Amino acid sequence: MIDITLPDGSVRQYASGVTGMEIAQSISEGLARNVLSISVDGNVWDLSRPIEESAAIRLHTWNDPEGKATYWHSSAHLMAEALESLYPGTKFGIGPAIDNGYYYDVDMGEETLTPADLPKIEQKMLELAKEKNVYQRQSISKKDAVQYFNEKGDEYKLELLEGLEDGQITFYTQGQFTDLCRGPHIPDTSYIKAVKLMSLAGAYWRGDEKRKQLTRIYGITFPKQKELTEYLELLEEAKKRDHRKLGAELELFMFSEKVGQGLPIWLPKGTQLRERLQNYLREEQEKMGYQMVVTPHIGAKQLYMTSGHYAKYGADSFQPIKTPKEGEEFFLKPMNCPHHCEIYGHRPRSYKELPLRIGEFGTVYRYEQSGELHGLSRVRGFTQDDAHIFCTVDQVKGEFLQVLELTTKVIKMMGFENFTAQISLRDPANPEKYIGSDANWNAAEQAIIDATKEVDLVTTTVYGEAAFYGPKLDFMIKDALGRSWQLGTIQVDYNLPERFELEYIGSDNQPHRPVMIHRAPFGSMERFISILIEHTAGKFPLWLTPDQFAILPISDKWIPYSEGIKAKLAAEDIRGFIDDRAESIGRKIRDTELKRIPFMLIIGDKEAEKGEVSVRRQGQGDLGSMSIDQFISMFKDQLEVTS
């Protein structure tokens, strides 16, 4: 007998060789119907795999991530079977489960798939699913595995096999399809009831752009048709929140082919929004001792040679602008830090000046590959809420913590609760990608790790994501469609001060090298606002929204009265306009609702007689009639709640 420990800590005894499915059945029929896979001492297994020794287990259903992952991975195999049956000779790369579904990378030779082919594959999958084919696990020797894929002519699987050790190789077979796979899988294909192939994309084999591009097919499956329908509806809803769509509808920003791709143009309403955000941050930063500066949009080549940006990005940036007679070369500013280093270094500095916090809403220009551009999230010209803190080694931690506090405050104030913090460190395998000494890097990386620990910030650590001059702490947030974007960033840098030979005179009357902290709580105004739009669906916080009210006179007889109301509100710094069009009140309300203007003040005979306004809240409806003073006080209450 073996001891099986359940998640609640209770221990049950089973005969050695018991399977996950048998355990589930012994607990309840319902569980046995719904269970998809099992964790045995932390490793996810098939339900049919015998458990030989005592272990702690967790049974996974559709309701946990491991269960979904098993389900979707099995769905990828089902899709592969369908592809092999419809397109014999298809070669397979990898086919993992992802956050929402799965994909499989395939090489179809001369054949090209188009979206029109997808329904046919979906049909085949459903057909095969009904066969209730069992996912059969089989251990296989490396030699036999190599022979199998040699005969099949699948060089991708053969390459994957090269990285595997003999004795640890397993095949899974369902129906007519056999795949090299670690598993685990759901019991059989009949669990898969609803299938949708979402999209086709090119994907480089092993993520290497020098290698062949395979066809990636994204799909998702569900145990119930209803769940698929709901998922697709959710996607439709998310698309309505897309900042590119709302940005156009609310007239926040635009793009123009003539101006150039990836170069956002801010319209008056968007500019208002952006400047309010900047003013907010400016005030917060002034409280913290920041000093604002303004630097030019271009810089001489030498500046970027000194900073190292030229060596790293010179070939992949906008190419230099040259003076017509002298041929001097200037680059569009891709970063503000070199300019700020020059500000630091323009005269001798004393330790008494440190920490020196230099801030700038600096507009920078970077060449991004055309296929990468995306609304406001990925552009070629954008404004960073940038600042560089020059401080002593001893001050690094304190400064870092202050920046961390500011950044999390900003993120939380905007209501972005679902952010993740990522520590981005060097890629140990590629030291040539970075400048500076190991000692500098170690100090910088340790500073970030220590500071995040001190405030108990939950972080993930990713190697290879550091900037070339230093490690970063990045704040990641998802957009409406679940894509993750980096917003705020904090970077500790020992290297640029060295390259710019920055110094300060210490209390010992000796020169010392300062440390630099790069930081941008929003990241860029463009990307931050793109996320803000998607998270609020265009219903911005009251303090930020371009128009806070619209006065809707029922007939133009009440326009003069409306003017008076508007003036009273303006005196209280409440902004808005009068809709004086000769339209019906229903029409005015509809248009104002669609513009996401928070308050509608409706004025007709009744209100004017009593000296009141009838208040309607966007998205909520009629709040009834009240005096203008009552409205002002209600407005101010809400202003505080949302700010």
Partner RNA sequence: GCCAGUGUAGCUCAGUUGGCCAGAGCAGCUGAUUUGUAAUCAGCGGGUCGGGGGUUCGAAUCCCUCCACUGGCUCCA
> Residue 349 or 378: which CB sits closer to RNA?
378
Q: Considering the complex, what minimum distance in angstroms separates the CB of residue 559 from RNA?
A: 9
Q: Which two tokens stand for residue 308?
A: 């190292």
Residue from 11, 15, 201, 393 in contact with RNA (CB under 7 A)? 201
Active-site choice (181, 337, 341, 391): 337
Residue from 14, 148, 171, 204 in contact with RNA (CB under 7 A)? 204
List the end-to-end C-alpha distance of the chain, in Å, as a whole number.
62
Residue from 51, 220, 335, 597 in contact with RNA (CB under 7 A)? 335
Q: Tell me if residue 59 falls in helix, strand or coil.
A: strand
* One-letter identity of residue 566: K
- Whole-angstrom Cα distance, residue 152 to residue 160? 14
> Residue 348 or 464: which CB sits closer to RNA?
464
Residue 87 DSSP symbol: S
Q: Which two tokens stand for residue 617?
A: 């809240």
Residues 442-471 that bind RNA (CB under 7 A): 467-468
Q: What is the largest CA-CA distance in the chain?
A: 93
* One-letter identity of residue 532: L
33 is catalytic: no
Binding mask 541-560 for RNA (x = CB under 7 A): -------------xxxx---
Residues 581-620 that bind RNA (CB under 7 A): 582-587, 589-590, 593-594, 600, 602, 604-607, 614, 616, 619
Active-site choice (472, 519, 527, 535): 472
- Whole-angstrom Cα distance, residue 443 to residue 448? 9
Residue from 114, 323, 507, 509 in contact with RNA (CB under 7 A)? 114
Residues 294-323 that bind RNA (CB under 7 A): 309, 312-313, 316-317
Active-site choice (137, 157, 243, 388): 388
Residue 261 DSSP symbol: T
Active-site choice (366, 380, 588, 616): 366
> Residue 169 or 387: which CB sits closer to RNA?
387
Exposed / middle / buried, residue 2 (Cβ in 10 Å: 0-12, 13-18, 19+): middle
Nearest to 100 by CA among 122, 123, 68: 68
388 is catalytic: yes
Nearest to 154 by CA among 104, 93, 77: 93
Q: Considering the complex, what minimum distance in angstroms separates the CB of residue 518 from RNA?
A: 7
181 is catalytic: no
Q: Considering the complex, what minimum distance in angstroms separates the CB of residue 465 from RNA?
A: 7
Task: Report yes or no: 418 and 478 within 8 Å, Cβ to Cβ.
Answer: yes
Residues with Cβ within 8 Å of residue 638, at least 6 apart in sequence: 542
CA dihedral 362, 368, 370, 371 (to 10 degrees): -110
Q: Tell me if residue 412 falls in helix, strand or coil.
A: helix
Active-site choice (68, 181, 357, 384): 384
Residues 209-268 that bind RNA (CB under 7 A): 209, 213, 215-216, 218, 242, 244, 248, 255, 257, 261-262
Neighbours of 415 (CB within 10 A): 12
Nearest to 30 by CA among 75, 66, 61, 64: 61
138 is catalytic: no
Q: Considering the complex, what minimum distance in angstroms separates the CB of residue 213 from RNA?
A: 4
Residues 470-509 that bind RNA (CB under 7 A): 481, 483
472 is catalytic: yes
Q: Considering the complex, what minimum distance in angstroms separates the CB of residue 505 from RNA?
A: 29
Give the count of alpha carbons within 13 A of 404, CB side only: 25
Residues 352-391 that bind RNA (CB under 7 A): 366-375, 378
Q: Does 578 bind RNA (CB under 7 A)?
A: no
Task: Report yes or no: 155 and 40 within 8 Å, Cβ to Cβ.
Answer: no
Q: Considering the complex, what minimum distance in angstroms separates the CB of residue 580 from RNA?
A: 9
Q: Which residue do the tokens 């602008």 mark?
A: 321
> Residue 109 or 115: which CB sits closer to RNA?
115
Q: Considering the complex, what minimum distance in angstroms separates the CB of residue 553 from RNA?
A: 8
Provide the annotated active-site residues.
337, 366, 384, 386, 388, 472, 518
